[in-house]
Structure 1
Amino acid sequence: MKKIIVLVNILLFVSVNAQTTVLKTADSLYDYGNFSKAIAFYNQLDNPLDYADKIAKSYYYIGNYEQAIDYYNKALLNNPNNQLIKFEQCKLLFQNGQLAKAKTHLLDLIKADQSNPNYYYYLGLVGNASDDFETAQDNFLKAYQLDQTHQNAIFELAKYSLQKRAFKKVEDYVNKGLESYPNNKKLIGLIAQKHYLNNEYHESISQFLKLLDLGETTKFVYEKLGYCYGKVYYYSKAIKYLDLALKSDPKDANNHYLLGVNYEQIRKYDLAEKHVLEAIKLLDQPLDEQYAKLGVLYNLQDKPAEAIQAFNNAIKENPKSESNYFFRTFTKLDYFKDLDAKQKEVQKFNNQFPDSKYSEILNLKLAKFKSEKFQNKTE
């Protein structure tokens, strides 16, 4: 009998030691991020559900969200009042699109602890995802009131204010956020956009350059710098940044067009023509503005025939644009040699647009040609 007792004790000792070894191995694998193997070792334990929260996190880290949610449920059965586990589950439910469940659990958490700003912040995210933006803002504001250094809540409040063009609020929230985190790129980006939308181009440039210094070398930053520099007449710098934006997306028609506009300003008409033509090829929308710009560029290069064709194309795109008819007629006055042909074009325009602001310009130009012809005859 004593031998049997000793044998049982030995087996129990071996079993306990084996379980301890398995647990240590599982924890070590978990700590070092080898999550799939960690799960396998936790499941070798006699009581794997005691470690359901670690198994849940392991499934989360390898991207198996359904299993992660399932194990968080099991973990909560063992620890129904564990707020940390419940909060981790809420975040995962939100990420997995289970908004109603996430909201229910978050409200339970808030009942238990109304002083935690992160509960309100995630409730705000659930509101945004459910298109309940006003309620979402209320929750972001509560998170901010509980913690005025909460960068994510500040960002959501400032972003919404920007969408509503409440520029003073944007500035107030961003300044508050930057007090505790001066290099928050998301907040700097918002204040840069606030200045941009408010036509404060020098201030916008300053903030976008700050983003570049912080490593935010994106197409968005480059093209906004290109646009702003063009607006304050720094055309070479505008070209520099629009070129960088095109390296990220060579088929961006708008940036090609803006490059054309800026090259025109520094009288590099061949390059302006190249980029405007590229924009026209890429755009799938009314192109009258682009064709009209191309016509102007051809005129600047003394290519009236090409200019007339470009204005014809602009008119096809937008037959109601009076200015395109004017530019075509104006170009024809220089291109046509015959005075009668010139006179017919002006008359045609005046008949089509009897009250046009452009009529006086065309009539004066025609009168100049008539005077020149008369002078040639008398000589």
Structure 2
Amino acid sequence: MKTLFCFFLLACGATADGQIANSQLADSLYATGNYIKAINYYAKDGSKASGLQIARAYNAIGNYEKAIAQYRNVLSLDVTLQICKFELGKLYLKTKDFSNSEILFKDLINVSDNNPEYHFYLAETFREQKKVGNSITSYKNATATDSTHLRSLFQLGKYYVGQREKDSAFIFIDRGLRFYENDVALINLKALAYFNNDEYIKALPYFNTLLELGEEKEYIYEKLAYCYFKDWEFEKAKANYKKVLELNEENADAYFYLGQVYWKDKQIDSAQYYVKESIAVQKPFLVREYVALAGISRNKEDMKSALEYYKLAHEEDPDDALIYHNICTVADQYYKDPKVKLKYYEKFDERFGNKNDYMAKMVAKRISELKEEIHYDVK
């Protein structure tokens, strides 16, 4: 009997040692990304810990259905296992199963209300479902638990920037920047908050900081250039718009606003060149470009070109009364024959005269003057 008992102890020890060896080998395989082999060794172990690792391995290789099934299996063995619920909740969120994700994160919050990650992921679940009010409340709950929770602070800042509530946005953005001053996402939000509020000079240092931190992106150069343009720093505006074009030579807005900078800087030929380039790289709708070129041509006292560009703009948008009124006034300057001038104004009156606004009244007055001029010329 004593011999049998000793043999039993040895057998149990051998089994335990084998399970430990399987688990250690599985952990090594998992850590090095050899997930399928790791799963096979974890399966031999059979413990809750190994079951959780199998779920993680399936998640890592992208087999989400098996991962979800394995997480559920682990929870059937121990429904109180928070780490399992947390990871399954995130996987539900990833696979857009928002109802189950919401249930799990709410359950976790009921168990541990002081965990900011639970509040954050519940907020993310609400955000994906377009439940804006609920998501904002949950993000705020996350920051109430951890005042430095950067991802929640970012989402709150982003929301208020989008709502153009600059002061509210700064409450969360500045809190995050005090914790991590070089967070590019928060710096970007602060720059945009000023930019969207037309405070271009205040936005400048933040866009420049983004560049210093290596965020050399097209939209940053574009907004920085516009800030310099509004601050009348034309050379810096030109340099940044040209940097935009180095990154994307088909950016029509960059060409157009570069033309505007040159126009403001009294470099008319360059202004004309870049606005034409804006036309060349884009498809219609081209009204603003044609109107800009018409205005530039008027500055150059080239009424023939101005008339051609206004006509092109009218072809793009025949319902814009202001464009056709400009055609009339330019034609009035360009042509000498009052009968030719009259045809333009009468066409305006026929098309837009019923609006009875300031332009229509001015046109009616000019028609009367031209008819009188023609009448006396005939005599």
1:35–1:295 Cα change, 3 Å:
same
Amino acid at match of 2:263: E
1:345–1:246 Cα change, 3 Å:
same
Q: Please give the alpha-carbon distance, in whole angstroms, between the structure 1 residues aligned to 2:62 and 2:235.
A: 47
Q: Please give the alpha-carbon distance, in whole angstroms, between the structure 1 residues aligned to 2:90 and 2:317.
A: 51
Partner of 1:375: none
Comparing 227-236 with 31-40, greater Cα deviation is found at: 31-40
* TM-score of the pair, normalised by structure 2: 0.82
**Contact residue 50 and residue 78 of structure 1 kept, 8 A:** no
Segments of 5+ residues of structure 2 without an aligned counterpart are 374-379
Q: 5 Å matches for 1:146-157?
A: 146-157=145-156
Aligned match for 1:340, one of 337, 340, 344: 337
Partner of 1:38: 38
Comparing 248-257 with 146-155, greater Cα deviation is found at: 248-257
Q: 5 Å matches for 1:350-365?
A: 352=349, 355-356=358-359
Amino acid at match of 1:290: E
1:79–1:247 Cα change, 3 Å:
farther
Partner of 1:184: 183
Q: Please give the alpha-carbon distance, in whole angstroms, between the structure 2 residues aligned to 1:276 and 1:64.
A: 52
Amino acid at match of 1:248: L
Partner of 1:376: none
Instruction: Give how far 1:5 is off.
Output: 10
**Contact residue 173 and residue 186 of structure 2 kept, 8 A:** yes
Partner of 1:205: 204
Partner of 2:29: 29
Q: Please give the alpha-carbon distance, in whole angstroms, between the structure 1 residues aligned to 2:273 and 2:23.
A: 68
Q: Please give the alpha-carbon distance, in whole angstroms, between the structure 2 residues aligned to 1:186 and 1:104.
A: 30
Partner of 1:124: 123
Segments of 5+ residues of structure 1 without an aligned counterpart are 371-379
Count of residues in correspondence between the two structures: 361
Partner of 1:55: 54
Identity of aligned residues (%): 27
Partner of 1:83: 82
**Contact residue 51 and residue 75 of structure 1 kept, 8 A:** no
Deviations 1:284-331 (A, max 9, x none): 554322101122334455654333211111122233445434544554
Q: Please give the alpha-carbon distance, in whole angstroms, between the structure 2 residues aligned to 1:234 and 1:77.
A: 67
**Contact residue 325 and residue 349 of structure 1 kept, 8 A:** no
Amino acid at match of 2:231: V
* TM-score of the pair, normalised by structure 1: 0.82
SS of the residue 2:126 aligns to: helix
**Contact residue 171 and residue 191 of structure 1 kept, 8 A:** yes
Cα RMSD of the aligned pairs, angstroms, is: 3.4
Partner of 1:311: 310
**Contact residue 326 and residue 358 of structure 1 kept, 8 A:** no
Deviations 1:15-38 (A, max 9, x none): 665554433222112223333442
Instruction: Give how far 1:6 is off.
Output: 9.8
